[in-house]
């Protein structure tokens, strides 16, 4: 009984003391969360630390209490994203006590590694074998080059030419179509391929291939491959210690050939930059982030120094998965995007919704699915709204890594992604990166040139988009090689000068014309052909239902009756979307004018968008039969005028 009383007295004493003595126990600092990938991918004692934007590395390491640059077994600083990775035995304690406790740290992740075949999602049965190895058989007969009716422009937007090549493979024809191609030949390389030239596809653009390496000596590349950071083929890769820069797997060489090969690639004039961070054992999270960091730095230097001919940068990453790649990789992609580098990535080969697939679901990338030869989603391709579109990705022929002249077939979204990278390079070679801020403009261009022609056959009706180069887009302006460009870019950048228009009216009152058009520097852009005995190009009577529109556009002209309707001449370029249209007006016998517009039909370049009026040059006719192209007895007239885009 007495013991019970004493214990209760002691207990009450401690309660009373607690009520009057303040709590002095030190608060533990809050720790930055540690991002952990799946256990099977983790690299022991290896971490990536992302610092807050304004944090200096030296100040952070001073707070840590040791200079990891010298004490760690491995240390890499990534200045473009203000992050570093380090490997050091027994580093768990310093990570817990110092690094994660530093308020200047933004995020921390454990380093990881994804095996190559898992990152590439290699499909069975698509590796090279004797039945699918090819030797190049390039045929150049039938190449056609036509000059677009526009001057060499004086601002950033360049002039360009159109070229049609024959005997090309089906996937190249498919990405330049204006819809589903009815005569697509998937068995033989006998398809036409339209593309821009002068500038050539991808000229001046660096396409960075983050992959397993590239066989740079393959004839498909024509000496256009270099290694990021310099070095030769057999020199060690900066991102794969102990391994050469060259490809020892096959994936990277095939991808590079699809993006920028001379025969089977989209941007045949681009520079291919080998970024081998896909090592024999896989992709290390820190090394892939580090490789993007180095790309960003090279891009920024090029943008500042503007080396001769440089137009921009594109990244291709034919890799991914549902594993968590961590915040450093995601941040590196975002910074590259912010700097104006478009990033093409593969959407995955699991036939599932790609919503959890990384890096496909990053906001900073353009993720692509695979289609087959019949405009259907490939049966292996992922799908869903995370994808931005589809590109050919089944049985794609490209360079093989085993020899300098071998080719092979591969399937996968890995094959579709480099087609997108090649198209991005086309956009950049025409516009140059000077016209872009972040990569949003590139993605907008790609969206503007997609066609809703893919059968997704997955219940996914929200994404049926096929990416194209835009050269035959139904929506492109005649003065541009693809859709999506702002017409304001043309203001003050091009001027077409019609230096001579001769109209001839023969005794039967049939009108003909010859036209010569020159640019601002006097270069000849267009001249009508003279065929047979006809004095130029016929000017047919304009349809009566067009007269009202002309009257609204040119209210000063009075048109009385069908016989007095103006003549019209269309000078057609390589297809109906490129033309200069000229209207001949006759108000009375003493006052004649000719008006014209340049553009495309279907509401693009209509009469009220830039139409100009041209007056008679000599305030009257030359007289019967005096114009060089006019026959005896024909009335001739000469006009001189200019058209500013």
- What secondary structure, in 3-state letters, does 385-406 show? CCCCEEEECCCEEEECCCCCCE
Same domain, yes or no, for 337 and 414? yes
Q: Where among 114, 131, 163 does a domain terminate? A: 114
Q: Is 128 a domain residue? A: no
| Residue 580 in this model has a pLDDT that exceeds 50 | no
- Domain assignment present for 119: no
pLDDT at 474: 84
Distance of CA 519 to the CA centre of its chain: 30
My answer on whether 248 and 393 are in the same domain is yes
Q: Is 13 helix (H, G, I), strand (E, B) or coil?
A: helix
The answer on 99 and 146 residing in a single domain is no
Do 609 and 526 share a structural domain?
Answer: yes
Question: Across residues 535-551, what is the average pLDDT?
Answer: 50
Q: For residue 626, give every residue at least 6 positions away whose Cβ sits within 8 Å of its Cβ, in sequence order, or none.
A: 636
Mean pLDDT of the chain: 77
Cβ burial of 106 (10 Å; 0-12, 13-18, 19+) is middle
Same structural domain for residues 391 and 508?
no
At 161, is the pLDDT very low, low, confident or very high (cuts 50, 70, 90)?
confident
The answer to whether residue 249 is catalytic is no
Burial 431-444 (b: 16+ CB within 10 A, else e): bbbebbebbebbbe
Write down the pLDDT at residue 620.
Answer: 43
Counting the structural domains of the chain, the total is 3
Residue in 511, 513, 449 with CA at minimum distance from that of residue 480: 449
| In the predicted structure, residue 16 carries a pLDDT above the cut 50 | no
3-state DSSP call for residue 546? helix
Angle at 552 between CA 546 and CA 554, to 5 degrees: 100
What is the spatial distance between Cα 425 and Cα 413, in angstroms, rounded to a whole number?
19
d(CA 303, CA 339): 10
Please report which confidence band the pLDDT of residue 608 belongs to, taking 50, 70 and 90 as the band edges.
very low
pTM: 0.74
Residue 578 placed within a domain: yes
Which domain, by its residues, includes 569? 494-644
Q: Is residue 543, in this structure, part of any structural domain at all?
A: yes
CA–CA separation, 432 and 330 (whole Å): 26
Among 114, 130, 151, the domain boundary falls at 114
Domain final position from 456, 488, 520: 488
Tell whether the model's pLDDT for residue 526 goes beyond 60: no
Which residues are registered as beta bridge partners of 527?
A: 516
Identify the CATH number of the domain in which residue 41 sits: 3.30.70.80
Whether residue 366 sits in one domain with residue 231: yes
Q: How many CB atoms lie within 10 A of CB 535?
A: 24
- Are the C-beta atoms of residues 367 and 345 closer than 8 Å to each other? yes
Whether residues 55 and 196 share a domain: the answer is no
* Pick from 221, 265, 266, 268: nearest CA to 246: 221
What local confidence, expressed as pLDDT, does residue 49 receive? 98
CA 403 remoteness from chain centre:
29
Q: What's CA 501's distance to the chain center, in Å?
A: 41
Give residues with Cβ within 8 angstroms of 356, minimum separation 6: 322
Q: Does 475 share its domain with 566?
A: no
Higher pLDDT, 487 or 343: 343
Would you say residue 104 lies in a domain?
Answer: yes
Q: Among candidates 370, 473, 460, which has minimal Cα distance to 415?
A: 370
Check whether residue 569 and residue 423 sit in a common domain: no
**Residue 246: per-residue pLDDT:** 97
| Options 45, 178, 194, 211, the catalytic residue | 211
- Is pLDDT of 524 > 80? no
Contact in structure between 71 and 94 (CB atoms under 8 Å): no
192 and 307, same domain (yes or no): yes
Question: Is 211 assigned a catalytic role?
Answer: yes
Mean pLDDT check: name the lowest of 19-33, 400-414, 424-438, 546-560.
Answer: 546-560
Looking at the fold, whether 316 and 444 belong to one and the same domain comes out as yes
What's the mean pLDDT in 552-571?
42
Cβ proximity of 513 and 501 under 8 Å: yes
* Block residue for tokens 């993720």: 367
Task: Report how far residue 283's alpha carbon sits from residue 113's, in angstroms, rounded to the nearest whole number.
Answer: 5
Q: Dihedral angle at the C-alpha atoms of 237, 126, 170, 199, nearest 10 degrees? A: 0
Q: Would 471 be classed as within a structural domain?
A: yes
b/e sequence 211-224, b meaning 16+ C-beta within 10 Å: bbbbbbebbbbeeb
Task: Decide if pLDDT at 94 tops 80.
Answer: yes
Average pLDDT over residues 374-378: 95
Per-residue confidence band for 29, with pLDDT thresholds at 50, 70 and 90? low
Structure tokens at 383: 């799908």
Return the minimum-mean-pLDDT range out of 50-64, 147-161, 237-251.
147-161
Active-site entry in 195, 227, 251, 299: 251
Q: Does pLDDT of 376 surpass 70?
A: yes
Choose among 449, 569, 478, 426: nearest CA to 146.
Answer: 478
pLDDT tens digits for range 324-340:
999 999 999 999 999 99
Residue 414: active-site member:
yes
Q: Given the DSSP bridges, would you call strands 83-87 and 74-78 parallel, antiparallel or unpaired?
A: antiparallel
Q: What is the mean pLDDT of residues 219-245?
A: 96
Instruction: Determine the Cα–Cα distance for residues 338 and 330; give it in Å rounded to an integer.
Output: 12
Residue 535: band (very low, low, confident or very high) from pLDDT cuts 50, 70, 90: low
Q: What is the mean pLDDT of residues 458-485?
A: 80
Mean pLDDT computed over 172-194? 94
User: Confidence class of residue 636 from pLDDT cuts 50, 70 and 90?
Assistant: low
Query: Please, which residues bridge with residue 188 across strands?
Result: none
Whole-angstrom Cα distance, residue 298 to residue 339?
A: 11
User: What are the Cα distances from residue 531, in Å, to 146, 216, 506, 536?
Assistant: 19, 50, 16, 7
DSSP state of 32: P
Residue in the block written with tokens 């956009």? 427
Residue 412 forms part of a structural domain: yes
Instruction: Return the number of other C-beta atoms located less than 10 Å from residue 473's C-beta.
Output: 22
317 in a domain, yes or no? yes
Sign of CA dihedral 225, 231, 234, 235: negative
CB 314 within 8 A of CB 208: yes
Tell me the pairing of strands 495-505 and 511-518: antiparallel
Q: Is the pLDDT of residue 157 over 80?
A: no
Work out the pLDDT band at 382, boundaries 50, 70, 90.
very high
Which of 348, 407, 358, 400 is CA-nearest to residue 378? 348
Residues listed for the chain: 645
Residues 272 and 251 in one domain: yes
∠380-383-389 over CA atoms, to 5°?
110
The CATH number that applies at residue 390 is 3.40.50.200
A 10 A CB-CB count for 284 gives 24
Identify the top-confidence range among 471-480, 587-596, 604-613.
471-480
Single out the catalytic residue among 414, 417, 497, 593: 414
3-state helix, strand, coil in the chain (%, to 5): 25, 30, 50
């Amino acid at each position: 009984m007495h013991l019970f009383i004493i214990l209760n007295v002691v207990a009450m004493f401690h309660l009373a003391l607690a009520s009057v003595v303040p709590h002095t126990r030190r608060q533990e600092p809050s720790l930055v969360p540690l991002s952990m990938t799946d256990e099977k991918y983790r690299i022991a004692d290896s971490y990536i630390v992302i610092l807050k934007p304004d944090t200096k590395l030296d100040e952070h390491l001073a707070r840590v209490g040791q200079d990891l640059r010298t004490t760690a077994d491995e240390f890499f600083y990534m200045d473009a994203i203000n992050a570093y990775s380090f490997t050091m035995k027994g580093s768990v304690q310093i990570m817990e006590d110092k690094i994660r406790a530093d308020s200047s740290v933004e995020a921390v992740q454990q380093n990881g590694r994804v095996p190559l075949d898992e990152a590439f999602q290699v499909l069975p049965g698509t590796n090279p074998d004797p039945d699918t190895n090819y030797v190049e058989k390039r045929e150049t007969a039938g190449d056609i080059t036509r000059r677009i009716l526009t001057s060499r422009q004086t601002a950033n937007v360049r002039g360009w030419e159109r070229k049609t090549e024959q005997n090309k493979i089906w996937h190249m024809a498919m990405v330049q179509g204006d819809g589903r191609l009815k005569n697509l030949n998937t068995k033989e390389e006998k398809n036409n391929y339209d593309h821009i030239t002068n500038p050539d596809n991808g000229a001046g653009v660096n396409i960075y291939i983050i992959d397993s390496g590239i066989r740079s000596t393959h004839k498909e590349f024509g000496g256009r491959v270099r290694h990021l950071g310099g070095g030769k083929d057999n020199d060690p890769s900066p991102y794969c210690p102990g391994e050469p820069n060259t490809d020892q797997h096959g994936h990277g060489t095939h991808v590079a050939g699809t993006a920028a090969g001379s025969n089977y690639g989209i941007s045949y004039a681009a520079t291919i930059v080998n970024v081998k961070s896909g090592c024999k054992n896989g992709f290390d999270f820190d090394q892939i982030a580090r490789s993007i960091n180095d790309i960003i730095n090279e891009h920024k230097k090029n943008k500042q120094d503007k080396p001769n001919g440089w137009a921009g940068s594109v990244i291709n990453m034919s890799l991914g998965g549902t594993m968590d790649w961590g915040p450093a990789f995601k941040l590196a992609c975002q910074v590259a995007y912010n700097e104006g580098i478009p990033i093409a990535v593969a959407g995955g080969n699991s036939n599932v919704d790609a919503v959890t697939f990384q890096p496909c679901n990053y906001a900073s990338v353009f993720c692509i699915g695979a289609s087959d030869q019949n405009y259907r989603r490939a049966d292996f391709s992922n799908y869903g709204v995370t994808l931005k579109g589809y590109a050919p990705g089944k049985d794609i022929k490209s360079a093989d890594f085993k020899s300098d002249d071998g080719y092979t077939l591969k399937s996968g979204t890995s094959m579709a992604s480099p087609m997108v990278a090649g198209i991005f390079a086309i956009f950049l070679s025409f516009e140059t990166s000077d016209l872009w801020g972040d990569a949003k403009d590139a993605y907008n261009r790609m969206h503007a040139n997609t066609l809703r022609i893919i059968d997704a056959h997955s219940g996914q009706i929200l994404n049926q988009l096929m990416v194209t180069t835009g050269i035959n887009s139904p929506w492109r302006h005649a003065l541009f090689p693809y859709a999506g460009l702002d017409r304001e870019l043309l203001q003050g950048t091009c001027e077409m000068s019609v230096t001579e228009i001769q109209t001839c009216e023969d005794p039967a009152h049939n009108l003909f014309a010859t036209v010569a058009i020159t640019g601002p520097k006097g270069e000849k852009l267009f001249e009508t052909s003279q065929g047979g005995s006809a004095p130029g190009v016929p000017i047919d009577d304009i349809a009566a239902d067009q007269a009202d529109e002309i009257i609204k556009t040119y209210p000063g002209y009075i048109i009385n009756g069908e016989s007095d309707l103006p003549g019209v001449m269309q000078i057609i370029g390589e297809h109906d979307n490129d033309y200069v249209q000229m209207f001949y007006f006759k108000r009375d016998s003493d006052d004649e004018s000719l008006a014209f517009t340049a553009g495309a039909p279907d509401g693009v370049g209509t009469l009220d968008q830039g139409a100009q009026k041209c007056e008679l040059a000599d305030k009257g006719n030359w007289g019967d039969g005096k114009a060089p192209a006019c026959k005896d007895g024909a009335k001739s007239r000469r006009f001189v005028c200019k058209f500013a885009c």
